[in-house]
């Protein structure tokens, strides 16, 4: 499952993620990191069974954690099932079902946003 870690400038200076990995020994995978002067935003893939422990470890260090339920949302009224979004997704989230309609395995989404601009019908949005 995926979480977004929000960190203030003071704590982005510390090796936060390394500390948490060492402490929990959980295999964390960084999907996307965006560190700006006003703070950092990192999307992290966390093994399902370690979620509570990892969240606590981050929170203890002053970071805010939000669980990404649906990283990318499709508006079914706008989607025409063209499939244009399929080939630009770096992680293979989107695919055709047997009937040529679209299905999404959002657990693989890294919120890069490429599919959002590719979609000619404005059917896709990233969640906050």
Partner 1 sequence: MGEKTIQDINARIADGSVHVVTAEEMPHIVAELGPEGAAREVDIVTTGTFGAMCSSGAWLNFGHSDPPIKMQKVWLNDVEAYSGLAAVDAYIGATQMSETRGMEYGGAHVIEDLVCGKSVDIHATAHGTDCYPRKVLDTTVTIDDINQAVMMNPRNAYQKYNVATNCSDRTLYTYMGTLLPNNGNATYSAAGVLSPIFNDPTYQTIGVGTRIFLCGAQGYITGEGTQHDPSNNFGTLMVQGDLKKMNKKYVRGATFHKYGVSLYVGIGIPIPILNADIAKATAVTDANITTNVLDYGVARRSRPVLRQVTYEELKSGMIDINGNEVTTSPMSSFHEARGIALELKESIRKGLFYPTLPVERLPNEGVSKPMKQIKEQPTVADVMASRVTTIKQGLTVEDAAKVIMEGNFNHLPVVSDEDKLVGIITAWDVAKAVAQNKRDKLDDIMTRTVITADITEPIETTARKLEQHNISALPVINNKNIVVGIITSDDISKLMTRR
Residue 103 half-sphere exposure, CB side, CA atoms within 13 Å? 6
Which of partner 1, ligand SF4, none binds 113 (CB below 5-8 Å, type-dependent)? Answer: ligand SF4
The yes or no reply on residue 54 touching partner 1 (CB under 8 A) is: no
Helix/strand/coil percentages in the chain, nearest 5? 30, 30, 40
Q: Contact 65/52 with Cβ under 8 angstroms?
A: no
Instruction: Check residue 125 for interaction with partner 1 (CB under 8 A).
Output: no
101 belongs to the binding site for ligand SF4 (CB under 6 A): no
Which positions touch ligand SF4 (CB under 6 A)? 71-72, 74, 79-85, 88-91, 93-94, 102, 109-115, 118-119, 121, 123-124
């Amino acid at each position: 499952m995926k979480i977004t870690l929000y960190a203030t400038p003071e704590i982005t200076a510390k090796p936060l993620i390394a500390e948490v990995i060492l402490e929990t020994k959980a295999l964390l995978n960084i999907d996307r990191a965006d560190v700006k002067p006003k703070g950092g935003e990192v999307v992290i893939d966390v093994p399902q069974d370690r979620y509570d422990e990892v969240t606590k470890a981050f929170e203890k260090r002053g970071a805010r954690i939000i669980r990404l339920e649906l990283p990318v949302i499709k508006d079914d009224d706008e989607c025409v099932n063209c499939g244009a979004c399929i080939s630009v997704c770096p992680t293979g989230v989107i695919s055709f079902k047997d009937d040529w309609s679209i299905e999404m395995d959002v657990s693989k989404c890294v919120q890069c946003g490429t599919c959002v601009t590719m979609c000619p019908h404005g059917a896709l949005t990233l969640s906050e």
